[in-house]
Amino acid sequence: MYNLHIATIAIMAANVLVSLRGFSDITFFERYKFSISGIRAGQRERTVTSGFLHVDISHLFLNMFTLYFFANVVINWFGPGKFLIIYFISLIAGSLLALFFHKNEPHYSAVGASGAVIGILYAAILLRPDMQLGIMFIPIPLPAYVLGIAYLLYSIYGMKSRHGNIGHTAHFGGAIGGYVTTLLFKPDLFVTDTLIVILLAIPIIILFVLEKMGKI
């Protein structure tokens, strides 16, 4: 059995409890979701509270299922304290990037732990680049860093095309948060896994180059 650390259980419990409240109380949901207009009005707590709300059970399950698989990789390397720091920095980074890219869209809103969870996923990839991950429709597992890079490139595409009802910007921001914080905690990765560090940085550089060029 895959043993969960109490820190992971606490994060999961918070997501479940807040999401269940949001499912049954639309006023609560609207008050604490990520909202450009709400944040502009001074409700900055939305940048954090939105990360514990979800649209429905399947949205909640997918995020918690992903966290279930990768939380222990980070905890085993860094301990629960730094795991929680990476989680919350990734959550906030996702919100801040969404705020930056959508600042002129007062009706833009989003919910979900995806930014924080993807931050943990990217931390795990940096720490264990040898991991093999499976994906639907591809019969063989692929190196984790390949899927990580591919996902960020897909997120850039999603941000450009507004493809699907998905918070691509928050996902990308969460990945940046997990990437940067992991390197701050373990700077020797620049030496021991230089190629992986560079490869994972490429989509981040592409995003900001495109933004500077006005392409996103």
pLDDT of amino acid 171: 86
Per 3-state DSSP, what percentage of the chain is helix, strand, and coil (rounded to 5)? 70, 5, 20
64-108 residue pLDDT tens: 998 998 999 999 999 999 999 999 999 999 999 999 988 999 999
User: What pTM value is reported for the model?
Assistant: 0.91
Residue 162: which of 120, 213, 216 has the closest Cα?
Answer: 216
Q: What is the dihedral of CA 196, 200, 201, 206, to 10 degrees?
A: 140
Kindly report the average pLDDT of the chain as a whole number: 90
Is the domain defined by 6-212 classed in CATH 1.20.1540.10?
yes
42-75 residue pLDDT tens: 999 999 999 999 999 999 998 999 899 899 999 9
Residue 15: which of 91, 121, 95 has the closest Cα?
Answer: 91
Beta strands in the chain (DSSP E): 34-35, 109-110, 132-135, 138-143
Query: pLDDT band at residue 1, thresholds of 50, 70 and 90?
Result: very low
pLDDT of amino acid 163: 55
Query: pLDDT band at residue 8, thresholds of 50, 70 and 90?
Result: very high
Q: Is the pLDDT of residue 40 over 50?
A: yes
pLDDT of amino acid 146: 86
| Helix 144-161 and helix 114-127, axial crossing angle in degrees, nearest 10 | 150
pLDDT of amino acid 182: 98
Q: Is the pLDDT of residue 141 over 70?
A: yes
pLDDT of amino acid 164: 52
144-202 residue pLDDT tens: 888 888 888 887 887 777 655 567 788 899 999 999 999 999 999 999 999 999 999 99
- b/e string for 43-53 if b means 16 or more Cβ within 10 A? eeebbebbbbb
Mean pLDDT of all residues in 118-132: 91
- For residue 109, the SS3 value is strand
